[in-house]
Amino acid sequence: MKTEIDYLIVGAGLAGSCLAWELIQSGEEVVLTDVHLEGASSLVSAGIINPITGKRYVKTWNWDVLETDFTHFYQRAEAFFRMKLLHQRKIYQILDTIEEENQWLSRMMQQEYAEFLNWSKHSFDLCPNLQAGQSLGIIERAYQLDISKLLNLLRHFFKSLNVIREKVFNYQEITREDLHWMYQDLWIKKGIIFAEGYRIFENPFFNWLPSFAVKGQRILFEAVRSTQDLLKSEYTIASTSDENIFWCGSNYEFQNTNPQVDPGEERRQQLFIQNQVDGEFKFLNSQCGIRPAMKDRRPVIGEHPHLKGLFVMNGLGTKGSSLTPYVVNHMIRFLKGTASIDKEMNISRFYHLKDKL
Ligand SMILES: Cc1cc2nc3c(=O)[nH]c(=O)nc-3n(C[C@H](O)[C@H](O)[C@H](O)COP(=O)(O)OP(=O)(O)OC[C@H]3O[C@@H](n4cnc5c(N)ncnc54)[C@H](O)[C@@H]3O)c2cc1C
């Protein structure tokens, strides 16, 4: 006897969990299958949402739309779970050279950046070890999502509904009858949505997408720090939901899918913390995650070109916290047939690669 459901979601990182929550809210019958496999990305993330990025300090892609979507989405989650999840933060960015300072100051002069950027020559409690010649660029309107808290709340919610299976998904066990997919005891009416993060390369239906892995490593440490704002230089120091525990990361290693901690990187991060944090700190642990990215640095959502009812939602890269609500909103509208997907995120931009195989 099969259980009928609307959607099966493979992967419950930030992408799969937020999508499942939204589908359940809209009345769909959903089952998730997820195991926290090595290299999974969301739980090592700091949840930082930075509007101004890169060496030239430019506004992030589509910022105004993203900000509307993620504030609305996370505030709804806050109301649902009665828990604060999205925090406004400032980012204090150390400017090391006169060139960086000039670049920053010239951005600040632009009207569109005025509300985002500020600058200070003086040291703060936050940055006690500012060197001569350095100054601080201040990003006034950043955010931090308490991503571990959100994911724990969502997992608890899915467990209370008995809709999450903590098992590895086995691609060989999918079968098809008429227009429906089946998996083990499930009869899936509307489709299977794959949100496995960087492990998309193991997915026989979507491994032709031009994905690439960006490994990152972070440290958790205990210290006394008077602020929850962020300090950014070679690495970033951020707060966590525990007021004495802080996050430091991260590096970017392209096409490295080895999920083991690199001791050399761990030492570099420890040295950074030692230089930037006043007083004692206690190292707690290091962990790695692998960010799932697409070659053109945009998310990918949509349906398989030939196999109806198989969908993908992936490619959140370095910006899962800001992109997920926007991507989920698009996916929901697409699944409900009320809107098409923007071409920048649409899987159809890669269909020609599938046809080449
Ligand atoms: C060190 C580090 C720091 C970061 N910091 C930030 C930050 O500050 N801000 C930000 O916005 N982004 C940050 N990111 C990026 C962010 O983590 C990602 O964009 C986002 O979390 C990706 O979410 P996802 O759900 O697509 O993938 P994942 O979180 O990797 O989730 C995929 C899930 O699917 C599971 N899975 C895969 N295959 C199977 C299978 N066959 N069966 C069952 N389960 C399976 C995995 O185990 C995992 O649980 C950071 C990433 C790293 C590595």
Ordered by where they begin, the domains of the chain are 3-42+148-210+295-356 (3.50.50.60), 48-145 (no CATH), 212-294 (3.30.9.10)
Query: What pLDDT, on a 0 to 100 scale, did the predictor assign at position 125?
Result: 62
State residue 320 phi and psi, 5-degree precision.
Answer: -55, -40
Burial of 312 (0-12, 13-18, 19+ CB in 10 A): buried
CB of 292 within 6 A of ligand 1: the answer is: yes
Query: What pLDDT, on a 0 to 100 scale, did the predictor assign at position 218?
Result: 98
Query: What pLDDT, on a 0 to 100 scale, did the predictor assign at position 130?
Result: 79
- The DSSP H or E segment spanning 5 is strand 3-10
CB of 93 within 6 A of ligand 1: the answer is: no
CB of 11 within 6 A of ligand 1: the answer is: yes
Burial of 127 (0-12, 13-18, 19+ CB in 10 A): buried
DSSP secondary structure code for residue 346 in this structure: B
pTM of the model: 0.97
Q: Which of 169, 291, 313 to mutate to test ligand 1, by most ligand atoms within 8 A of the CB atom? A: 291
The answer to whether 257 and 37 have CB atoms below 8 angstroms apart is no
d(CA 242, CA 91): 19
The answer to whether 75 and 127 have CB atoms below 8 angstroms apart is no
Q: Kindly give the distance from the C-alpha atom of residue 185 to the centroid of ligand 1, in angstroms, as a whole number.
A: 27
DSSP secondary structure code for residue 296 in this structure: T
Residues of the chain short of pLDDT 70, as ranges, are 123-126, 356-357
d(CA 154, CA 18): 8
d(CA 15, CA 19): 6
- For 99, half-sphere exposure in the C-beta direction (CA atoms, 13 angstrom radius) is 2
State residue 185 phi and psi, 5-degree precision.
Answer: -90, 10
Query: What pLDDT, on a 0 to 100 scale, did the predictor assign at position 121?
Result: 79
Query: What pLDDT, on a 0 to 100 scale, did the predictor assign at position 278?
Result: 84
Query: What pLDDT, on a 0 to 100 scale, did the predictor assign at position 126?
Result: 63
Question: In the structure encoding, which two tokens stand for residue 61, read together?
Answer: 């892609």
Q: Which atom of ligand 1 is nearest to the CA of 320?
A: 19
What is the 3-state secondary structure of 74-89?
HHHHHHHHCCCCEEEE
One-letter amino acid of 175: T
Query: What pLDDT, on a 0 to 100 scale, did the predictor assign at position 143?
Result: 98
The answer to whether 172 and 321 have CB atoms below 8 angstroms apart is no
Based on C-alpha coordinates, what's the Rg of the chain? 21
CB of 170 within 6 A of ligand 1: the answer is: no
